[in-house]
Structure formats: C-alpha cells, structure tokens
C-alpha cells in the first residue's frame, strides 16, 4: 500500500467537529470536516488508529479511487478496471454498501449489484472463477458513494459499525438503547475527561443498559473503544498489516493497564430491575465490575459518591415520542431537576434529549447546547451547571438555602489571599492596557505549585472567561495525597476568587519529562474558543494539549515582530499555531512563511490566519523538519528580512532525523538561519529553557544581542520564563 492514503470516518450528523478534534488528538493529519464525517490522510497506521481509538466514528473507510459513474454501465466499467486482486482472494467473500447523493444512479440496490458484478467479472476474466457474496461477515466490504457523475470507491476497514464495542449481547437490550458513539459525544461535550482528570465522579440515575457509564469509565481509564472487537473489516483484507495491528493492540493493552487506576467512581442506577440486569452484564463484559457500582433505585434516591470533587451527572431520559407519554416525560424532567438541585450542587449535568422544550423544567442554567442526531431523530446535548446555592451536598437543605462553604486550611487561606492580591494588581494593569489573556499566578507560594492563566473570550465567545491551571509536578518528597489535597484546595479557591464557574476551569498536570520523552496530548475533548490580543483573534484549546495554542509570555515579543514586519519577507520557524505569522501579517509583511513539523499545528496556524483575514498565496505554510527546510531554502536562494525562531527545548519527533536539543544545537540552527537572512535582516531567537546559555564565542562573527528584559510582560515578571535574542550580521 502507498504511504500516503486517504480515509473518511463517518459519524452521526452534528458531531463532525467533535470527531475532527478527536482525530487530530490521535495525531492524524489532513483532518477536515465534511457532512456526516471527517476526512484525513496518512499511512495505514492512521486508519488502524482511527478504528481502534475513535470513540465517535461510525465507520472508517479507506478511499481507493474515484471512477466515472454517469450511468450504471460507466460505473461497472470503472470498478472492473480496478485491481481487486490486490484486496480480495478469488476464494474470499465480499459485500457492497452503496449510497447515492445527487447521482444519476438513484437505485442504491441496483448500484450495489452492478459494483458487485464488476468485481466478480474482473476475477472471472482473470481466473475463470469469482468470489462469493456474504452480506453479514464478508472478507472485504466495499463502500461506494455515488455523487454527481462520479463514485468514490472505498474499503470499509471497520467491518461492522464502530459503535458496536463488544460489551453488549445481541438481542438482549433495553428499549431504544443509546449508541456508544453518541454516548461518547455526550460525555465529551460535557468535558468529562477534564472532570475525571481532577477526580470527579460520574452518576447516571437512569442508566438503562449502562452505556453512558461504561463509556465514561473507558474514557477515564484510557481504554481503546475497539479493544474488545474480534473482527474487523481488514481482518481478511489482503492489504492487512498484521504486525502493525498487533503492535497497536499491545500499545492499547498497556495504556489500559495503566489507565485503570485513573477511573473515578462510576455510579449507575435505574428503577427498572431488567435494565439493571442488562447493565450488569454489559459492565461485566466491559471488564468494569470492580469500578462501576449498579443499584436498583428510584431517580430521587441518586446521590454523589462521598469525598470527591464535583463530577458529572449524564442522563438520556425518554423523549415522550409515543402517544400518551408526554405528561409522564414532563414530570420526569421536573423530578430530575429537583434531584440535581437537591443532591448535586456544583456538579455538571449533561442531558441528551429530543424533548428540548422540556429542558426548562429542570430549573437549571444551561451552559452549552449541542445539536446532533440520534438515528433520524434530531436531539440536543444540554450541558448545565448545578448552582452551589441550591440544596446541599447531603440533600438536607431546601431550595434557596446557601451551601455551607468548606473550611480552608491556613495554607489554603494564604493561597486565596495571594491570588486576590495578584488579581487586584495584575487585573488593574490588564484593564488599563486592554490585555484580556494573562497570567495571574505562577507558583508564587511553594505549597501551591501551579500556574493560573485567565482567558477572556472574543468574537462569538465575547463575554466568556476561562481559567487554565497548570500544575507543576510536585517534588519527589511531597506525598501524592498531600499534592492531591492542595490541588483540591486550589479548585475550591479559584472559582470563588476569580468568579469563574468550575465548568470553565481547566486543570493540567505538567510533569517533568526525562530522557527522550516529550510533552504530548493530555486529552481529546476537542473544544476550542476564540480570544483576542492586540486586536487580533486566536483560537485556543484549553483541554487537549499541555499548552493552549497561545504562549502568553510572548505577547510583548509578538508586538515587537508586528512593529518590525512592514514590507518584510517574514519566516516563522517552529511556528506552533502561527501567532507570530498573524502578527507579522498584521504589521504589513510582504509575505509570510510558516514552518512546523506538525500538520495539526499548521492547520491550527491556518485557522488563526483565516480568523484575521490573512489568506492567499502570500501566506505559505510548510510542514517540514526545520533543519531540513532551512538547508533546502538556502540551496534555492530564498531570503527573508525578518525571521522568528522559537524552538522546543528538546524534540525527538519521528518526523525528524535524530533529536534536537536547543542548548546543544542552537549554534547550528542559527548559522543555517543566517544563510537565508537577507542583508540588513534580523533573526529574533527565543526559547524557554531556563538554564539556556547562548554560545556567543561560537557566533563571534555575528552580532548577538540579549533583549530578554524588554520581552518579558508584566504578568511574567515574577518568574523568568524565556530568553530572547536578536541575531544580525556584524
């Protein structure tokens, strides 16, 4: 098979954006949304990873080619010309799925029949024999999308739909069970990975067959959703790489073994004894009997697990579609709202329902609404905040009574006082200067070793505020329980001091990496927001990566680049999400070139450029190893007037030869950059290694100037965060 393949992951309508973010989080490339699915590119491993790890996709299709399909005969000829002997044995079996969209071939059954005939006719002409048809479990399932006068021909790598994880028994289910990929969508919209990451529990008081709870446990435990499936669409496909699949399966097993310890309490209940029986069987098959608690109980008896931070209640209540059910469903929504208000203060609730007019009956503020389809039924996910001033954690207070605030330790009070002081001081500066995204705390107190950033929304997110908390890994001598307690105290203090709901607070652990390890994804939530800086718009992601997409410590440096960019040919190396390219374009750069090894970040950079109206051939984005790119650019005689370089401290990406260490390799990097620097041009070089030392002697023939002091913003003055230098020819 070719190294660069094209895939299409289908999904229920309405979750295309969520799926696109998930696939990017899996490291897949060329990701872009289409109707009812997401396209992506890569090697066969990319398709296998999507099959094994996507919680949202329905199927993963490997695109083979497109053939003319103006009529059935033309379709037959095009399919018959394809090398099906590369995919299927003459002794094998096949099936064809056919979809028509604005195609002259409107009869899908007949279209599938002509495709099947074309494949069989090719084998008959070549071998005087033909494969058989097996619509249930074929060796190869062919997918055809006839659109306009062409047809896209694909191999269905998934075989059966991916929502069939393997923990349900056939024909033993409750009425209208929720599909697993829709359950995952509900949980991701509700930010369950973030909630689970900070130790919050999960409750479904109307659990049915337990789908929401099982998916919640698998997400928190890093269990691959395809790990239980025994048969795949590629299992007998001739292009199957068994060694690769075995390696990916082993990796998934190792991750699940580690992740099991991270699954918080999962409490499922239902008033229907039969539903509890079905759910118990599903939980057992999913390997979760030790971490999921099942109870036969009425909705009003639901309670949160004790001793944990606020968590998530997720529910898929009946919609009341049948005659005579409407009043019962209305009462059910009112009872659900009363239970949430009474017993789950400060929790997040996620409701999947088609009865959208009944959501106000819950009596809770709606934070977000996401429209999607449950089969053919248009439904919505409502994410709600349960206020802290209604009810009590023990369910003993009545509506309107205030929830008693927990008593803080003396150290936590000191942290709260320091945060208030910082907010007053830095907030005043931010308001005066128009800065809406800034750092308000950076490990000021040793016992509370976190960085806290505030992000103010812009454009469609105008009026919203988010808080991003990065926990530095505690020293080895600090007991894990002590570190955990301090984080819980931080999460108690921050919403009160900053006035931001807990649902809009993101927490990440920033571990110290050793040897050749690198910072990688920490989540796969896929929610982005828009913020503003110096009148420019940027997309941030507070959950999926260790960093958010906008390095706030470079705010002043970006402003400097904007001032120097007038009529300049600008080059941005190790560009990340391209914020410096946006600033250069805003400053009037003649053209910009943005270089990064990650396609995910380059696509993010393109989106940032588009947000600000900078598109077209004068703004180029190149995916490449920077060192290789510089060598090629120098050989081609390219020149730039202004170059910004912000390399990682260390990188061992599989896309580059060897490793990169900024202390070891900065001299070679700068000398390569000078080769493409135009006469009179300037290189601005910055990096975040705290003990970095510029090798002035090795660069004695260049003029190297330390400008760090002028590039540290006010909100970073308390803690050195980067060094910045200008490099010009002497």
Band of the pLDDT at 399, cuts 50, 70, 90? very low
Encode pLDDT of 280-321 as tens digits: 999 999 999 999 999 999 999 999 998 888 999 999 998 765
Q: Would 400 be classed as within a structural domain?
A: no
| Chain centroid offset of residue 442 CA | 26
Could you tell me the two tokens for 290?
A: 């030790």
Is the domain of 221 the same as that of 335? yes
Q: Give percent of the chain above pLDDT 90.
A: 73
pLDDT for residue 463 = 87
Name the nearest CA neighbour of 483 among 515, 448, 517.
448
Q: Where are the beta strands (DSSP E) in 616-714?
A: 619-623, 640-645, 650-651, 660-661, 677-687, 702-706
* Contact indicator for 299, 334 with CB cutoff of 8 Å: no
Q: How far apart are CA 93 and CA 113, in angstroms?
A: 14
Could you tell me the two tokens for 340?
A: 């949430």
Asked if the model's pLDDT at residue 111 lies above 50, the reply is yes
Say whether 361 sits in a helix, a strand or coil: helix
* Contact indicator for 348, 190 with CB cutoff of 8 Å: yes
pLDDT for residue 176 = 65
Pairing between strand 619-623 and 591-596? parallel
pLDDT for residue 402 = 38
Please name the residue that has the structure tokens 């007998």. 236
Name the nearest CA neighbour of 559 among 453, 712, 382.
712
Is the domain of 625 the same as that of 666? yes
Band of the pLDDT at 392, cuts 50, 70, 90? very low
Band of the pLDDT at 633, cuts 50, 70, 90? very high
Is the domain of 97 the same as that of 203? no
Q: How far apart are CA 262 and CA 198, in angstroms?
A: 10
Structural domain span for residue 109:
5-156
pLDDT for residue 321 = 52
Name the nearest CA neighbour of 279 among 205, 373, 188.
205
Highest mean pLDDT among 190-204, 451-465, 553-567: 553-567
Q: Would 412 be classed as within a structural domain?
A: yes
* Helix locations, 65-224, DSSP H: 72-80, 108-127, 180-189, 192-197, 211-220
Give the C-alpha distances (Å, rounded to integers) separating 233 from 84, 94, 116, 130, 160: 15, 10, 17, 20, 7
Is the domain of 631 the same as that of 681? yes
Asked if the model's pLDDT at residue 105 lies above 70, the reply is yes
Q: Would 252 be classed as within a structural domain?
A: no
pLDDT for residue 394 = 35
Q: What is the CATH number of the domain that holds 540?
A: 3.30.750.80
pLDDT for residue 512 = 43
Name the nearest CA neighbour of 105 among 140, 68, 135.
68
* Contact indicator for 594, 584 with CB cutoff of 8 Å: no
Q: What is the CATH number of the domain that holds 109?
A: 3.30.2130.30
Is the domain of 589 the same as that of 486? no
pLDDT for residue 504 = 85
Q: Would 636 be classed as within a structural domain?
A: yes
Least confident of 115-124, 276-285, 374-383: 374-383
Please state, rounded to an integer, the average pLDDT across all residues of the chain.
90
Encode pLDDT of 462-518 as tens digits: 888 999 999 887 766 777 677 778 888 898 899 889 988 877 888 886 544 433 333
Encode pLDDT of 64-77 as tens digits: 999 999 999 999 99
Q: What is the CATH number of the domain that holds 308?
A: 3.40.50.150
Asked if the model's pLDDT at residue 323 lies above 50, the reply is no
Phi, psi of 352, deg, nearest 5 = -100, 115
Band of the pLDDT at 328, cuts 50, 70, 90? confident
Is the domain of 725 the same as that of 700? yes
Least confident of 145-149, 211-215, 377-381: 377-381
Is the domain of 538 the same as that of 573? no
Band of the pLDDT at 354, cuts 50, 70, 90? confident
Is the domain of 598 the same as that of 528? no
Q: Would 172 be classed as within a structural domain?
A: no
pLDDT for residue 389 = 56
More confident of the two residues 446 and 521 = 446
Encode pLDDT of 226-281 as tens digits: 999 989 999 999 999 999 999 999 999 999 999 999 999 999 999 999 999 999 99
* Contact indicator for 353, 317 with CB cutoff of 8 Å: yes
* Contact indicator for 391, 403 with CB cutoff of 8 Å: yes
pLDDT for residue 395 = 37
pLDDT for residue 648 = 93
pLDDT for residue 171 = 59
Band of the pLDDT at 143, cuts 50, 70, 90? very high
Q: Would 170 be classed as within a structural domain?
A: no
Least confident of 318-322, 383-387, 483-487, 527-531: 318-322
Encode pLDDT of 659-690 as tens digits: 889 999 999 999 999 999 999 999 999 999 98
Is the domain of 512 the same as that of 562? no
Is the domain of 568 the same as that of 703? yes
Is the domain of 526 the same as that of 563? no
Could you tell me the two tokens for 594?
A: 């943005």
Band of the pLDDT at 555, cuts 50, 70, 90? very high
> At which of 493, 518, 546 does a domain end?
546
Asked if the model's pLDDT at residue 705 lies above 70, the reply is yes
Encode pLDDT of 83-104 as tens digits: 999 999 999 999 999 999 889 9
Q: What is the largest CA-CA distance in the chain?
A: 86
* Contact indicator for 506, 491 with CB cutoff of 8 Å: no
Q: Give percent of the chain above pLDDT 70.
A: 91
> At which of 96, 122, 156 does a domain end?
156
Encode pLDDT of 431-442 as tens digits: 999 999 999 999
pLDDT for residue 329 = 83
Is the domain of 455 the same as that of 338? no
* Contact indicator for 88, 139 with CB cutoff of 8 Å: yes
Give the C-alpha distances (Å, rounded to integers) separating 121 from 126, 570, 613, 670: 9, 57, 53, 61
* Contact indicator for 494, 469 with CB cutoff of 8 Å: yes
Q: How many domains does the chain have?
A: 4
Q: Would 169 be classed as within a structural domain?
A: no
Q: What is the pTM of this model?
A: 0.63
Q: How far apart are CA 136 and CA 684, in angstroms?
A: 61
Q: Would 663 be classed as within a structural domain?
A: yes
> At which of 526, 546, 566 does a domain end?
546
Band of the pLDDT at 401, cuts 50, 70, 90? very low
Name the nearest CA neighbour of 724 among 560, 510, 536, 513.
560
């Amino acid at each position: 098979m070719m190294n660069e393949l094209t895939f299409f992951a289908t999904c229920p309508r309405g979750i295309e954006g969520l799926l696109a973010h998930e696939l990017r989080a899996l490291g897949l490339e060329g990701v872009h949304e289409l109707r009812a699915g997401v396209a992506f590119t890569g090697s066969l491993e990319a398709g296998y990873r999507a099959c094994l790890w996507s919680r949202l996709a329905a199927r993963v299709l490997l695109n083979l080619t497109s053939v003319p399909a103006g009529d059935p005969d033309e379709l037959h000829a095009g399919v018959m010309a394809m090398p099906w002997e590369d995919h299927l044995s003459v002794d094998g079996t096949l099936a064809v799925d056919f979809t028509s969209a604005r195609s002259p071939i409107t009869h899908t059954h007949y279209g599938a029949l002509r495709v099947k005939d074309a494949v069989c006719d090719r084998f008959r002409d070549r071998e005087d024999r033909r494969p058989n048809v097996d619509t249930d479990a074929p060796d190869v399932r062919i997918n055809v999308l006839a659109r306009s006068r062409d047809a896209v021909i694909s191999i269905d790598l998934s075989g059966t739909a991916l929502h069939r994880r393997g923990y349900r028994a056939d024909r033993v289910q409750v009425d209208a069970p929720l599909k697993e990929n829709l359950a995952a969508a509900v949980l991701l919209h509700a930010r369950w990975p973030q909630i689970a990451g900070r130790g919050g529990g999960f409750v479904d008081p109307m659990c049915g067959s337990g789908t929401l709870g099982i998916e919640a446990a698998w997400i928190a435990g890093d269990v691959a959703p395809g790990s239980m499936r025994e048969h795949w669409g590629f299992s007998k496909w001739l292009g199957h790489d068994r060694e690769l699949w075995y390696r990916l399966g082993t990796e998934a097993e190792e991750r699940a073994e580690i992740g099991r310890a991270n699954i918080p309490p999962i409490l499922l209940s239902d008033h229907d004894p039969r539903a509890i029986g079905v759910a118990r069987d599903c939980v057992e098959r999913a390997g979760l009997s030790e971490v999921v608690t099942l109870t036969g109980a009425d909705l009003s008896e639901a309670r949160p697990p004790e001793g944990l931070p606020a968590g998530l209640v997720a529910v898929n209540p009946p919609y009341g579609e049948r005659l005579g059910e409407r009043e019962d469903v209305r009462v059910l929504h009112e009872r659900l709202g009363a239970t949430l208000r009474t017993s789950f203060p400060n929790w997040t609730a996620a409701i999947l329902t088609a009865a959208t007019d009944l959501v106000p009956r819950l009596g809770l503020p709606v934070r977000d609404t996401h429209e999607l389809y449950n089969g053919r039924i248009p439904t919505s996910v409502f994410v709600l905040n349960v206020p802290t001033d209604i009810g009590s954690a023990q369910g003993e207070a009545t509506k309107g009574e205030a929830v008693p605030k927990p008593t803080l330790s003396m150290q936590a009070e000191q942290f709260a006082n320091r945060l208030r002081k910082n907010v007053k001081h830095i907030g005043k500066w931010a308001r005066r200067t128009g800065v809406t995204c800034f750092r308000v705390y950076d490990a000021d107190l040793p016992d509370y070793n976190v960085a806290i950033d505030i992000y103010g929304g812009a454009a469609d997110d105008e009026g919203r505020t988010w808080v991003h908390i990065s926990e530095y890994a505690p020293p080895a001598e600090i007991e894990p329980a002590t570190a955990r307690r301090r984080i819980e105290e931080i999460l108690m203090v921050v919403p009160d001091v900053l006035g931001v709901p807990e649902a809009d607070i993101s927490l990440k652990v920033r571990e110290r990496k050793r040897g050749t390890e690198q910072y990688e994804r920490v989540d796969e939530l896929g929610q982005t927001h828009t913020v503003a800086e110096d009148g420019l718009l940027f997309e941030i992601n507070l959950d999926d990566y260790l960093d958010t997409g906008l390095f706030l410590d470079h705010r002043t440096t970006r402003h400097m680049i904007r001032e120097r960019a007038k009529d300049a040919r600008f080059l941005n190396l190790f560009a990340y999400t391209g914020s410096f390219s946006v600033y250069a374009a805003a400053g009037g750069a003649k053209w910009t070139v943005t270089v990064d090894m990650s396609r995910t970040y380059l696509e993010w950079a393109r989106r940032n450029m588009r947000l600000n109206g900078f598109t077209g051939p004068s703004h180029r984005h190149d995916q490449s190893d920077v060192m290789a790119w510089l060598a090629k650019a120098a050989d081609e005689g390219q020149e730039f007037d202004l170059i910004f370089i912000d390399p990682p401290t260390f990188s061992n990406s599989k896309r580059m030869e060897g490793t990169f260490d900024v202390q070891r390799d900065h001299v070679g990097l700068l000398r390569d950059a000078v080769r493409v620097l135009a006469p009179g041009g300037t290189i601005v070089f910055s990096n975040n290694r705290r003990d970095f030392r510029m090798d002035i002697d090795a660069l004695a023939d260049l003029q190297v100037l330390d400008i760090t002091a002028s590039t540290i913003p006010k909100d970073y003055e308390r803690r050195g965060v980067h060094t910045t230098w200008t490099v010009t020819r002497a």
